[in-house]
Structure 1
């Protein structure tokens, strides 16, 4: 419990600093919007590009591992989407953003850190295999679904709309370029690599600080039921599916099972707010779910670590 707390608390402190800065009127709403635009359109795409371009995609890439984790992710996405729509009567666009929040676990900021503390740095191979596909799978599913519910036409026009939305998205551009460099073996010039590194170092702090300012703006008024649903799906349903499939399919090593379950047990990541902000949908619900879910991870994450050994 103490180890997980030392990982989670710095995240809270950065978010709290952003909240306090806006509350004290030291940081304006316009500055928050600018900071989130920087994180969404520049810093995080650089982070995704750098991470994917340097990954060993063949290392620890196991079909059973992918199925146990991503089957749960996809089920949780639709559970959140239809739960928000059918139970809470949210608009379709809000429902997709809420489903995306249930889909996208914090696999990097929390997942890697908790995995390293719990099992050691040498155990992280399967975690990196999950992360290699995490953003592409989640963003493609989220963007395609959002564009479908927003589209006024079908057929070729819908395909064109979805394709344009994907390839104009800065995050997907960063992911695509990362895979292109990785698979082609092209060496990134040292000067460009250092420039990307400078930008990417600001990605998570900027996004977390900006999120604090966003939380001050979007208080969880009347959203308790939806937030509870998201936290239940993210912290309980997803790791339960990963654990069940990992145990019943067979073939997974203990290291792979731990990676799938512990990663699935993490709270929604900062990218879920970026997605909601990108479409202007359910921002208050998503921002609050990240904050509350991250706090609850101290308890639920410890329980899952105890379960998988």
Structure 2
């Protein structure tokens, strides 16, 4: 168990350093916002562009891997909605927002560094395949469900526009799409451009983790304890359990694929879960608290899943 914590804890120590720095006034809110803009709109898109542009698409995009991961995602989304609606008596808008919290795992800021520390950088190929369609899948499913269920958009064209704007204005998605374009066209980066990308990539995850710690300081848990525990259980336990069962029994994943699917599924809800809740003004307190508490709990749950994985 100590060896497993040695893998997970450094990631959370960097995150915790950001949390403490903002808490003690050593790093300003404006600094956190600037750091997150740099990482999410520039450095991480460069990371995803570089990874996708050099990815073996035939090997990386295995339908069995995606089926194993996204079956779990869809299941916890539905369970989150049903539980919030019929067990906790939340409104339909709140229920969908709570389902989205369970759906949107932190696949980049937590999933990538933990997988890399556990199994090495070469083990990230299946992670990048999952990440490549993560934002579009989650946003299309979440926004479409919300718009239809709340009758906010009866016009199909407006619905498509709303979904498309949310997906394709995302800098991470732009980096992924440009990576696909470079991969499929066979474009080779000039050496100096590749070196510049490498410099950006080296800064991406450490800076993002530090900034995420500062962001999480704003999301102090308050109220709705049972709902928060429910959604964290779906994210940290049910989703990876489904991915594990699918990968071992149904789709027969390779060892690398199984590791990536389960570890990515076991990550806490990402900050995008709160942004979705805030966009609709629904279950914001639950979303913010679940992001914070789930991230802290991932130290233990991710270690447990690492113990089970081959």
TM-score, length basis structure 1: 0.80
| TM superposition shift of 1:104 | 3.1
Whether the 8 Å contact between 1:101 and 1:268 is mirrored in structure 2 is yes
Gaps of 5+ in 2: none
Tell me how far apart the structure 1 counterparts of residues 128 and 56 of structure 2 sit (CA, whole Å).
9
Q: Which position in structure 1 is the counterpart of 2:48? A: 48
Q: Which position in structure 1 is the counterpart of 2:184? A: 183
Whether the 8 Å contact between 1:246 and 1:252 is mirrored in structure 2 is yes
Q: 1:215 to 1:157 in 2, by over 3 A?
A: closer
Whether the 8 Å contact between 1:85 and 1:91 is mirrored in structure 2 is yes
Runs (4+) of structure 1 exceeding 6 A deviation are: 277-281
Q: Which position in structure 1 is the counterpart of 2:235? A: 234
| TM superposition shift of 1:155 | 1.9
Tell me how far apart the structure 2 counterparts of residues 280 and 26 of structure 1 sit (CA, whole Å).
31
Q: 1:130 to 1:217 in 2, by over 3 A?
A: closer
3-state DSSP class of the match of 2:58?
coil
Tell me how far apart the structure 1 counterparts of residues 120 and 176 of structure 2 sit (CA, whole Å).
27
| TM superposition shift of 1:294 | 3.6
Gaps of 5+ in 1: none
3-state DSSP class of the match of 2:59?
coil
| TM superposition shift of 1:270 | 5.4
Deviations 1:245-303 (A, max 9, x none): 23432543455434433332333345545666777765654454344334433433343
Aligned length: 309
Corresponding position: 1:248 with 2:256 = no
Deviations 1:186-233 (A, max 9, x none): 223334444444334433333333333333322101142232122211
Tell me how far apart the structure 2 counterparts of residues 63 and 22 of structure 1 sit (CA, whole Å).
42
Corresponding position: 1:71 with 2:42 = no
| TM superposition shift of 1:139 | 4.3
Whether the 8 Å contact between 1:7 and 1:110 is mirrored in structure 2 is no
Q: Which position in structure 2 is the counterpart of 1:26? A: 26
| TM superposition shift of 1:177 | 1.3
3-state DSSP class of the match of 1:71?
helix
Q: Which moved more, 1:143-152 or 1:95-104?
A: 143-152
Q: Which position in structure 1 is the counterpart of 2:6? A: 6
Whether the 8 Å contact between 1:139 and 1:172 is mirrored in structure 2 is no
Q: 1:29 to 1:247 in 2, by over 3 A?
A: closer
| TM superposition shift of 1:72 | 0.6
| TM superposition shift of 1:128 | 4.5
Q: RMSD of aligned C-alpha atoms?
A: 3.5
Pairing 1:76-155 to 2, within 5 Å after superposition: 76-88=76-88, 95-112=95-112, 114-115=114-115, 125-142=125-142, 144-145=144-145, 151-155=152-156
Q: Which moved more, 1:12-21 or 1:281-290?
A: 281-290
3-state DSSP class of the match of 1:235?
helix
| TM superposition shift of 1:96 | 4.7
TM-score, length basis structure 2: 0.79
Whether the 8 Å contact between 2:7 and 2:118 is mirrored in structure 1 is no
Tell me how far apart the structure 1 counterparts of residues 117 and 168 of structure 2 sit (CA, whole Å).
37
Tell me how far apart the structure 2 counterparts of residues 35 and 255 of structure 1 sit (CA, whole Å).
32
Q: 1:186 to 1:86 in 2, by over 3 A?
A: farther
Q: Which moved more, 1:42-51 or 1:196-205?
A: 196-205
Whether the 8 Å contact between 1:147 and 1:161 is mirrored in structure 2 is no
